[in-house]
């Protein structure tokens, strides 16, 4: 449950110095793609945070997103982030089970109504009223609608929660949709990827804790700090693309020389994610560095966008375009409702105290 102590007070009790906290905030600034000089300002702001309640709902998913987060390469940072929040419900990680677990969720919802952060991984089954995926006898659809009511904001973690993901892929037997297809009146941030890069998940949480609001988002509600550039833009093999040097097969001279994988089906040019800079496995590598084209897993409908091994120009369906159930659900909801929902979203955002980067900078200059 949330308590009244600030993060800084709790860290001090654990014997963590301000210098240690500043170091952590330097890592946070790096995670949030903010200038390193912001570390001091982040320390000031984050130090005063009181633990918000977090409810994590897992729907039609493979637990890969939770695996990604908990296997993340900087345990110290993750521990501190988990220390900064009160994770009141996560059915894979929590000790309680069955009725006790659901009671914990209901208590957290009641005590922190309007203030808790809701994290969702997995898509939501809508066909036949969502009976294809249930938890404790409640459909995912119903649970999402119930829990979203009291949420200050929602983070959709992983491509399934953000865009429907693999359950949404053709023929989509369960009528799987994204969180944004169901919830229209709350600020929602999509952290896509199959799974998302762990530091991107923690970076978004850190941003929420530091600034008290959502970061700047792209057209798919993804944080621009991590999804602003395409893989192609940040790829160290980009100079080979510009020189027209391409690998034509997985074992030719071009592949051995580390040339561009565009002709082998790399979706880097149409995929927005931080893999090329944040990388995976302790920053060791990312798919392209290991010699495999990017699959485009952080984009909508990546599973149905043609072969992973056809060059982009030969795919028939353009990537990054909503289709199927997502559009149908959106159309049913209607455009007029969209405008009302946007207004509600703005109100929800206003109710939440938000600090801007400029304010933080000003504070930093004053100190």
Partner 1 sequence: MNELLNNGELMHAIDSGELRPSAQVLALLRELQVMITTLAERGEPNSIDIRSLPLSPSDYETLIQILGNGEVNATINALGLSKIKETRFSGVWWLQHLNSHDEIIAELIEVTPLPDILKTQAPDLINSAEVLQRYLEKLQPPN
The region of 63-71, 236-244, 312-320, 325-333 touching partner 1 under the rule CB under 8 A is 236-244
16 belongs to the binding site for partner 1 (CB under 8 A)? yes
Which residue in 254, 245, 240, 242 sits closest to 291, CA to CA? 254
Pull the structure tokens for residue 198.
Answer: 């762990």
Shorter beta-carbon distance to partner 1: residue 243 or 356: 243
Q: Of the candidates 152, 235, 266, 294, which one interacts with partner 1 according to CB under 8 A?
A: 235
The region of 124-132, 180-188, 231-239, 306-314 touching partner 1 under the rule CB under 8 A is 231-239
Tell me how far apart the alpha carbons of residues 259 and 243 are, in angstroms, rounded to a whole number: 10
- C-beta of 45: minimal distance to partner 1 in Å? 15
Q: Of the candidates 7, 27, 188, 209, which one interacts with partner 1 according to CB under 8 A?
A: 27
Q: Of the candidates 2, 6, 10, 23, which one interacts with partner 1 according to CB under 8 A?
A: 23
Q: Of the candidates 1, 3, 5, 17, which one interacts with partner 1 according to CB under 8 A?
A: 17
Residues 244-303 that bind partner 1 (CB under 8 A): 276-278, 282-283
Q: Write phi, then psi, for 99 (nearest 5 degrees).
A: -60, -40
Pull the structure tokens for residue 75.
Answer: 């345990």
* Degrees to nearest 5, angle at CA 155 with 149 and 159: 125
Contact assessment for residue 308 and residue 293, using Cβ atoms and an 8 Å cutoff: yes
Which residue in 197, 144, 165 sits closest to 325, CA to CA? 165
3-state secondary structure of 44: helix
Q: What is the DSSP letter of 36?
A: G
Contact assessment for residue 40 and residue 367, using Cβ atoms and an 8 Å cutoff: yes
The region of 82-90, 186-194, 233-241, 355-363 touching partner 1 under the rule CB under 8 A is 233-241
Q: Of the candidates 3, 5, 35, 103, which one interacts with partner 1 according to CB under 8 A?
A: 35
- C-beta of 284: minimal distance to partner 1 in Å? 10
30 belongs to the binding site for partner 1 (CB under 8 A)? yes
Tell me how far apart the alpha carbons of residues 233 and 272 are, in angstroms, rounded to a whole number: 9
Block residue for tokens 């938890």: 135
Site of interaction with partner 1 (CB under 8 A): 8, 12, 16-20, 22-24, 26-27, 29-30, 33, 35-37, 39-40, 73-77, 234-236, 238-239, 276-278, 282-283
């Amino acid at each position: 449950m949330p308590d009244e102590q600030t993060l800084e007070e709790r860290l001090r009790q654990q014997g963590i110095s301000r210098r240690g906290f500043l170091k952590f905030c330097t890592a946070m600034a790096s995670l949030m793609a903010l200038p390193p000089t912001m570390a001091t300002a982040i320390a000031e702001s984050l130090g005063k945070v009181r633990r918000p309640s977090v409810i994590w709902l897992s729907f039609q998913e493979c637990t890969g997103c939770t695996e990604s987060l908990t296997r993340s390469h900087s345990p110290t940072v993750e521990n501190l982030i988990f220390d900064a929040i009160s994770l009141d419900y996560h059915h894979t990680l929590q000790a309680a089970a069955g009725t006790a677990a659901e009671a914990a969720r209901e208590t957290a919802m009641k005590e922190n109504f309007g203030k808790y952060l809701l994290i969702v991984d997995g898509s939501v089954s809508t066909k036949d009223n969502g009976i294809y995926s249930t938890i404790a006898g409640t459909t995912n659809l119903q649970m999402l609608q119930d829990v979203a009511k009291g949420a200050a904001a929602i983070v959709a973690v992983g491509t399934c929660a953000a865009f429907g993901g693999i359950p949404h892929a053709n023929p989509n037997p369960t009528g799987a949709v994204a969180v944004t297809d169901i919830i229209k009146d709350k600020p929602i941030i999509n952290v896509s990827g199959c799974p998302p890069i762990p530091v991107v998940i923690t970076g978004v949480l850190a941003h929420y804790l530091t600034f008290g609001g959502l970061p700047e988002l792209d057209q798919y509600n993804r944080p621009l700090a991590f999804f602003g550039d395409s893989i192609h833009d940040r790829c160290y093999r980009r100079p080979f693309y510009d020189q027209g040097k391409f690998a034509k097969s997985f074992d030719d001279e071009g592949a051995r020389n580390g040339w561009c994988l565009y002709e082998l089906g790399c979706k880097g040019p149409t995929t927005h994610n931080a893999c090329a800079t944040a990388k995976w496995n302790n920053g060791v590598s990312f798919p392209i560095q290991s010699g495999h084209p990017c699959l485009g897993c952080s984009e909508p409908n990546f599973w149905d966008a043609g072969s992973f091994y056809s060059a982009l120009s030969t795919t028939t369906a353009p990537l990054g375009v909503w289709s199927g159930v997502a559009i149908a659900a959106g159309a049913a909801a209607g455009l007029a409702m969209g405008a009302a929902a946007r207004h509600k979203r703005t109100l929800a955002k206003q109710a939440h105290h938000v600090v801007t980067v400029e304010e933080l900078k000003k504070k930093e200059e004053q100190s």
